[in-house]
Amino acid sequence: MEQVISSNVSRTIQTKLVLPPDTNHLGTIFGGTILAYIDEIAAIAAMKHSKKVVVTAAIDTVNFVSSAKSGDILTLEAFVLSTGNTSMKVYVKVECHQLDTDEKKLTTTSTLTMVALDDNGKPTPVPKVKLESDWEKELLNI
């Protein structure tokens, strides 16, 4: 019987502080820094789902919605959205909390394709995923 795992198993949340070295000449966080954070949390979510080492096969979409500045707090949330035979589509959402105004806003959304590897570094099958909320299911249509 095929194994199916809840999307909640892969759900991962990280908090990051935007520091001055993370920012550009405009005082906002480098896009590349955000991408590195996204790649890391997507890998963690995929590893939690598959119980395997994973590699990034593709960054499918990245939507920079708003910026963050030094001193802001970023919250990243990721989970496995869908699976193929050896691959997992991971959704990542980044939100910014500006302490001076107490405003919280969406900063970035992204989807990545991660591939699970066996002990020989070859792609290996992954369990299917069961999405738990209507919000997660709606993401499949984007």
Q: Residue 1's pLDDT band (boundaries 50, 70, 90)?
A: low
- Give yes or no for residue 48 having a pLDDT over 70: yes
Res 133: pLDDT: 87
Q: Is 39 exposed, middle or buried (0-12, 13-18, 19+ CB in 10 A)?
A: middle
Q: Residue 142's pLDDT band (boundaries 50, 70, 90)?
A: low
Exposure b/e, 88-101, CB count within 10 A at least 16 = b: bbbbbbbbbbeeee
Give 59's strand partners.
112
Residue 53 sits at φ, ψ, to 5 deg, of -70, 145
Q: Residue 58's pLDDT band (boundaries 50, 70, 90)?
A: very high
% the chain with pLDDT above 70: 99
Average pLDDT over residues 48-69: 97
- Give yes or no for residue 139 having a pLDDT over 90: no
Average pLDDT over residues 31-42: 98
Q: Among residues 47, 69, 61, which one has the least CA distance to residue 93?
A: 61
Task: Render pLDDT for 81-133 as a digit per residue (tens, 0 to 9).
Answer: 999 999 999 999 999 999 889 999 999 999 999 999 999 999 999 999 999 88
- What pTM value is reported for the model? 0.94
Task: Render pLDDT for 110-124 as a digit per residue (tens, 0 to 9).
Answer: 999 999 999 999 999
Res 90: pLDDT: 98
- Give yes or no for residue 74 having a pLDDT over 70: yes
Give the homologous superfamily in CATH for domain 4-133.
Answer: Hotdog Thioesterase (3.10.129.10)
